[in-house]
Structure 1
Amino acid sequence: MSTSPPADRRTLIADTAIGLVAAAGLRGLTHRAVDAAAGLPAGSTSYYLRTRTALIGACYQRLAELDLADVDGGSPFGTAPPALPGTSGRGPADRGPVDREAAAAALAGLLYHWLTVGRERQLARFELSLEAARNPELEADLRRAGREPRVRAAGIVAALGADRPEEAAELLVAWTEGLLYDRLAGALARSRPAPDLAELTAVARRMLAAALADPA
Structure 2
Amino acid sequence: MTDTAQRSTRLADAAIETLAESGMRGLTHRAVDRMAALPEGSCSNRFRTRRALLDATVQRLAELDAADVTSTVLDSADLDGVASVLAEVSHRWLTRDRTRMIARYELALEATRRPEIREALNAGGARFRAMATALYERLGVSDPATRAQAFVGCFDGLIFDHVAGAGAREPDIDHLRETFRGLLRGFAA
1:132 is aligned to 2:111: yes
- Give SS of 1:202's match: helix
Question: 1:48 Cα deviation (Å)?
Answer: 2.3
Equivalent residue number for residue 9 of structure 2: 11
1:209 is aligned to 2:185: yes
**Mapped partners of 2:78, 2:140: distance in 1:** 10
- Give SS of 1:98's match: coil
Equivalent residue number for residue 38 of structure 2: 40
Equivalent residue number for residue 171 of structure 1: 150
**Mapped partners of 1:114, 1:170: distance in 2:** 20
TM-score, normalised relative to structure 1: 0.78
- Give SS of 1:134's match: coil
Deviations 1:132-180 (A, max 9, x none): 1112332322222222222222233334444433222211210111001
Structure 1, unmatched stretches of 5+, are 74-82, 87-96
Which residue identity lines up with residue 155 of structure 1 in the other structure?
A
Equivalent residue number for residue 175 of structure 2: 199
Structure 2, unmatched stretches of 5+, are none
CA 29–164 in structure 1, closer or farther in 2 if over 3 Å, else same? same
**Mapped partners of 2:88, 2:141: distance in 1:** 22
1:149 is aligned to 2:128: yes
Residues 56-205 of structure 1 aligned to structure 2 (within 5 Å): 56-72=54-70, 84-86=73-75, 98-189=77-168, 192=169, 194-205=170-181
CA RMSD of aligned residues (A): 2.1
Q: Is the 8 A contact 1:31 1:43 kept in 2?
A: yes
CA 150–113 in structure 1, closer or farther in 2 if over 3 Å, else same? same
TM-score, normalised relative to structure 2: 0.88
**Is the helix fraction higher in 1 or 2?**
2
Q: How many residues align?
A: 188
**Mapped partners of 1:48, 1:165: distance in 2:** 42
Which residue identity lines up with residue 184 of structure 2 in the other structure?
L
Which residue identity lines up with residue 180 of structure 2 in the other structure?
A
Which residue identity lines up with residue 211 of structure 1 in the other structure?
F
Give the % identical residues. Answer: 44
Deviations 1:71-116 (A, max 9, x none): 139xxxxxxxxx6232xxxxxxxxxx63221112222222222222
Which residue identity lines up with residue 208 of structure 1 in the other structure?
L
Which residue identity lines up with residue 175 of structure 2 in the other structure?
E
Question: 1:9 Cα deviation (Å)?
Answer: 2.0
Q: Is the 8 A contact 2:77 2:135 kept in 1?
A: no
- Give SS of 1:25's match: helix
